[in-house]
DNA sequence: CGGCCTGCTGGTACTAAGTATCGTTCATAT
DNA sequence: ATATGAACGATACTTAGTACCAGCAGGCCG
């Protein structure tokens, strides 16, 4: 949210003080003082003490929402992947800030909680999108929930890996891999259930016993 | 956490006041006064104002943890399902309280956030368990994360459905259905990747064109 | 019986986050 | 030059949460 110079100064002062004294040991007065402004001004720029270290979630949420809305039914998967990439890109752009925040969040429970809540907002967005997208299909709410949570989980897993590695490697390749993982999983559920439309490939080990073949068939039937 | 009579009185007073005046309009002093104790006593029984309406998450987490630890590698899936059922059962047992809390949480953002954080603690437990369980297999961290988030998402979806229906129908059948959904999905990823071990069944519509067959084969190959 | 320890309680004082409000300054437009 | 509106400083206030101390019951032992 460092839009205005004052906001930026406040954020820098906060990060510096949090690093020096710790989060709980730093008061809003301290932050404002170092930034050379009053306490009132701090709360004009940030709703709370926690807000000052978190990225502009509102703007980022809006971006994600816009990307999701700009999609038709047949490009939904692409939209989801793009949206997730947008989020990751936002962290990667300010790698310095992201890393500092990561280390801080790992130490302060209150900030950890705050981050979890923020992530839930993204998940909600994805869930609503998936809900509209799957509307009409069986078990739409459940699948929407699973899809949203999986997408977010994949993103988080990749992001945490990148942060733990101090932002060295490129995280977009792992993200694509993880997303493909998720998509594969869900395509498995999205398959047409009408037997007349079904196209299935089967191979058997030459040594397979008839029982093994029957088990495989039964398993596949149950999986539908 | 209504262990002692004082705790119970405090909880009842809090719920009553939250219902009458709203959450933000009720102070801890009000709650303590109605319960006939001092403010100090309130904070001795509940760490915070929010704590007073949430169930005994610590005890429940311990139960879940115990159930997960009491499992070997081949009963892991059963343990996870049992653990989730334990959580749902905890809500169903006090249906009255759960429903009141649900309605309240839906109105107060602070409580909503608190609940999200609580859910994350369960998810973390499942993730660690799945991480140990899958240790050694490829992409273990990613799969553990996906598995944990999916299990929790399934539970939440079923729980919310039950709450929205005012706790009328039995939620355990839907839960089992949802969990089977998740298990099916993940079994799909757990399949042995060694081609020599592969057993696959294939059927084609008689009218299928060669291109359709080729597409199906390519898709299945990519899905591995 | 009397002293002692322990656990629970009430009360007071304190810190700090967040809110509300008022007056001031300053820049820009008319 | 004056009006308007936005940003800031300052003050006062509410409330959550913490720290600390003093009283008060009941149990236990000599």
Judge if the beta carbon of A6 is closer than 7 A to nucleic acid strand D: yes
Distance from CA of B204 to the nearest CA of A (A): 5
DSSP string of chain A?
A: ---SHHHHHHHHHHHHHHHHH-STT--HHHHHHHHTS-HHHHHHH-SSTGGGGS--HHHHHHHHHHHHHS--GGGHHHHHHHHHHHHHHHHHHTHHHHHHHHHHHTT-HHHHHHHHHHHHHHHHHHHHHHHHHTTTSTTHHHHHHHHHHHHHHHHHHHHHHHHHTTT-S-SHHHHHHHHHHHHHHHHHHHS---GGG--------TT--HHHHHHHHHHHHHH-
- Per-residue pLDDT at A224 exceeds 50: no
The 10s digit of each residue's pLDDT in B6-50 is 999 999 999 999 999 999 999 999 999 999 999 999 999 999 999
Instruction: Answer with the residue of higher pLDDT: B208 or A14.
Output: A14
Distance from CA of B194 to the nearest CA of A (A): 11
Closest CA to A188 of A204, A200, A172: A200
Q: What is the mean pLDDT of residues B171-199?
A: 74
Task: Write down the mean pLDDT value for chain B.
Answer: 88
Judge if the beta carbon of A113 is closer than 7 A to nucleic acid strand C: no
Domain at A1-52: CATH code: 1.10.10.60
Chain A residues near residue B186 by CB distance under 8 angstroms:
185
Can you tell me the distance from the alpha carbon of A221 to that of A205, in angstroms, rounded to the nearest whole number?
A: 19
Q: Which nucleotide is nearest to A45 (CA to C1')?
A: D7
Decide: helix, strand or coil at residue B9.
helix
Query: What's the confidence (pLDDT) of residue A167?
Result: 92
Inspect the interface and report whether the beta carbons of B142 and A154 lie closer than 8 Å. Answer: yes
Judge if the beta carbon of A27 is closer than 7 A to nucleic acid strand D: no
The 10s digit of each residue's pLDDT in A125-142 is 999 999 999 888 888 999
Query: What's the confidence (pLDDT) of residue A75?
Result: 86
> Taking the C1' atom of C15, which residue's CA lies nearest?
A27
The 10s digit of each residue's pLDDT in A195-220 is 444 555 566 666 777 777 777 766 66
B64 membership: H or E segment, kind and range: helix B57-69
Distance from CA of B36 to the nearest CA of A (A): 31
B132: tokens are 């140990």
> Taking the C1' atom of C10, which residue's CA lies nearest?
B38
As a rounded value in angstroms, the CA-to-C1' distance for B184 and D6 is 59
Query: What pLDDT band is residue B189 in, cutting at 50, 70 and 90?
Result: low
Can you tell me the distance from the alpha carbon of A208 to that of A211, in angstroms, rounded to the nearest whole number?
A: 8
Residues 70-129 of A with CB under 8 A from B: 113, 116-117, 120
B207 touches chain A (CB under 8 A): no
B214 touches chain A (CB under 8 A): no
The 10s digit of each residue's pLDDT in A54-80 is 978 988 999 999 999 999 878 888 999
The 10s digit of each residue's pLDDT in B110-168 is 999 999 999 999 999 999 999 999 888 888 999 999 999 999 999 999 999 999 999 99
Decide: B45 and B67 in contact? Cβ < 8 Å. no
Lowest pLDDT segment from B120-134, B163-177, B205-219 = B205-219
Distance from CA of B154 to the nearest CA of A (A): 7
Domain at A54-189: CATH code: 1.10.357.10
Query: What pLDDT band is residue B210 in, cutting at 50, 70 and 90?
Result: confident
Chain B residues near residue A204 by CB distance under 8 angstroms:
199-200
- Per-residue pLDDT at A193 exceeds 60: no
Tell me whether domains B1-52 and B54-189 share a fold. Answer: no
Query: What pLDDT band is residue B173 in, cutting at 50, 70 and 90?
Result: very high
- Per-residue pLDDT at B223 exceeds 60: no
Query: Could you tell me the pTM of the whole model?
Result: 0.83
Residues 14-53 of B with CB under 8 A from A: none
Residue to test with chain B: of A47, A114, A122, A146, most B Cβ within 10 A: A146
Query: What's the confidence (pLDDT) of residue B221?
Result: 60
Q: Which nucleotide is nearest to A24 (CA to C1')?
A: C16
B136 membership: H or E segment, kind and range: none
Query: What's the confidence (pLDDT) of residue A83?
Result: 97
Chain A residues near residue B213 by CB distance under 8 angstroms:
199
Kindly list the domain boundaries of chain A, sorted by start residue.
1-52, 54-189
As a rounded value in angstroms, the CA-to-C1' distance for A58 and D3 is 36
Q: Residue B216 is nearest to which of A145, A178, A199, comparing CB atoms?
A: A199
- Per-residue pLDDT at A86 exceeds 50: yes
* Protein-proximal positions, strand D, CB < 7 A: 7-11, 14-20
Q: Who contacts B22 (Cβ-Cβ below 8 Å, separation ≥6)?
A: B107, B108
A178 touches chain B (CB under 8 A): yes
Query: What's the confidence (pLDDT) of residue A55?
Result: 77
Instruction: Answer with the residue of higher pLDDT: B204 or B58.
Output: B58
Query: What's the confidence (pLDDT) of residue B194?
Result: 43
Instruction: Answer with the residue of higher pLDDT: A16 or B220.
Output: A16
Closest CA to A26 of A123, A111, A115: A111
Query: What's the confidence (pLDDT) of residue A210?
Result: 72
Q: Residue A223 is nearest to which of B139, B184, B205, comparing CB atoms?
A: B184
Q: Return the DSSP state at B176.
A: H
Query: What's the confidence (pLDDT) of residue A192?
Result: 45
Instruction: Answer with the residue of higher pLDDT: A224 or A149.
Output: A149
Judge if the beta carbon of B54 is closer than 7 A to nucleic acid strand D: no
A211 touches chain B (CB under 8 A): no
A212 touches chain B (CB under 8 A): yes
């Amino acid at each position: 949210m460092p839009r205005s110079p004052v906001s930026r100064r406040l954020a820098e002062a906060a990060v510096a003080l949090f690093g020096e004294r710790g989060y709980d040991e730093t008061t809003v007065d301290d932050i404002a003082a170092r930034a050379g402004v009053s306490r009132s001004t701090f709360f004009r720029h940030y709703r709370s003490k926690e807000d000052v270290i978190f990225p502009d979630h509102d703007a980022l949420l809006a971006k994600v929402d816009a990307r999701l809305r700009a999609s038709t039914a047949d490009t939904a998967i692409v939209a989801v992947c793009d949206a997730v990439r947008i989020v990751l890109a936002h962290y990667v752009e300010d790698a310095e800030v992201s890393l500092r925040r990561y280390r801080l969040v790992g130490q302060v429970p209150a900030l950890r909680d705050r981050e979890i809540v923020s992530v839930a907002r993204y998940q909600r967005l994805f869930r609503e999108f998936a809900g509209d997208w799957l509307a009409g299909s069986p078990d739409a709410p459940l699948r929407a929930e699973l899809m949203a949570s999986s997408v977010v989980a994949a993103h988080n897993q990749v992001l945490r890996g990148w942060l733990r590695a101090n932002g060295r490697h490129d995280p977009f390749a792992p993200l694509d891999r993880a997303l493909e993982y998720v998509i594969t999983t869900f395509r498995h559920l999205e398959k047409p259930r009408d037997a007349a439309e079904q196209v299935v490939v089967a191979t058997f080990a030459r040594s397979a016993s008839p029982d093994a073949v029957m088990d495989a068939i039964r398993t596949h039937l149950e999986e539908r």
